[in-house]
Amino acid sequence: MNKQMHMALAMVLAAAAGSAAAQSNVTVYGVIDTSVGRGYKSDASAEMMSGYTDTSKLGFRGSEDLGNGLKANFQLEGEIGSDTGAWTEGFKRQSWVGLSGGFGEVMLGRTTTPQNRLMGTFDLNGTADGSSAMKVLGIAANGSFMSSRQSNQIQYATPKLGGFQARVAYGFSETVSGTAGDKKDFLQLAASYQTGGLTLGAAIQPKSMSTQAAVGATDNRNGYALGAKYNFGVAEASVLYTRNEKTTEGDGFGIGIAAPIGAWKVGAQFARLTNVKNADGTKSAKEGANAFELFANYSLSKRTALYAAYGSVNSKAETAFSLARDNTMAVGVIHKF
């Protein structure tokens, strides 16, 4: 960590401590996720890893009551390496300020996309970075369009209306050089509906606003995702279908099932890429790539859990995504504060 980062972190900590002493609506929070295992992209037979199931992070969030139901809100969040203590890229995970009230909420800055906030629920293992069957194939439930986060966003969320909520985000590219595609802005919409044990969701990223290498590229199209999940009580099942905004990244689906057994949650998920094209329109080597994962999480408390996970891909996926091996596994502990 360089000197400037040390100074910035010290200032934020001091400000948060001062605010917390004066009011109760500023929170310091975080996640520490450390495991031993091996990843898809690592040559090591075994190593200590940070963020296998959930990104290790440190953050600050709070709000101020402005009266008449109006609140000012903020969030700052950065990734940490729990295995080394390294602080990476400042507050690049979350850095926004906004207002909320009876009209819903508006956020300005860098934050998660509408797809991330409403569609991640269709991955039953929390979109685990290390083992997710969908994520390793590039069709993550929380970020199959471009990325799960975008800078320079104006994001609006409706109030929750009888189980329904929608989000729309517009982002400025702020690029004045490079190709026309580099200068494209960002637009994304998502909506979800929940009633009883049923959850439905949809997200779309219009072709006209998708970031591409060049405007009018032959692989540029509307991207969308559809998800459904049902909790039967004894188990929950989920299905997700996504069409990437690039034909070269393809269509794909994921299915999963998970069940609580006492303090345990065990589950399995499978994902597959379909209809993937090369830039010239021919069939891509990625088409037919698939992956699966098995996971077991044991809750020691509301904030601490032990976990074990295993994932595997077929030879198409291993080759197409330049993986170091065709499987991943880890056992670890995660604590949230």
Q: How many CA atoms lie within 13 A of 317 on its CB side?
A: 26
The answer to whether residues 98 and 63 touch, using CB atoms and an 8 Å cutoff, is: no
The answer to whether residues 166 and 189 touch, using CB atoms and an 8 Å cutoff, is: yes
Q: Is 223's pLDDT higher than 60?
A: yes
The answer to whether residues 75 and 111 touch, using CB atoms and an 8 Å cutoff, is: yes
pLDDT tens string 45-67: 999 999 999 999 999 999 999 99
d(CA 221, CA 247): 7
d(CA 209, CA 212): 9
d(CA 313, CA 270): 10
d(CA 72, CA 106): 10
* Element housing 136 (H / E): helix 133-136
Share of the chain above pLDDT 90, in %: 77
- 213 versus 11: the higher-pLDDT residue is 11
d(CA 166, CA 37): 39
pLDDT given at position 88: 80
Which residue, among 98, 79, 249, has the nearest Cα to 149 in the 3D structure? 79
Structure tokens at 229: 């999940």
Q: How many CA atoms lie within 13 A of 224 on its CB side?
A: 8
pLDDT tens string 261-312: 999 999 999 999 999 999 888 999 999 999 999 999 999 999 999 999 999 9
Structure tokens at 280: 């010239």
pLDDT tens string 7-24: 555 555 555 555 444 455
d(CA 13, CA 312): 41
- 244 versus 336: the higher-pLDDT residue is 336
Instruction: Determine the distance from the C-alpha atom of residue 260 to the mean position of all C-alpha atoms in its chain, rounded to a whole number.
Output: 23
d(CA 249, CA 226): 17
pLDDT tens string 162-211: 999 999 999 887 754 545 545 567 899 999 999 999 999 999 998 755 55
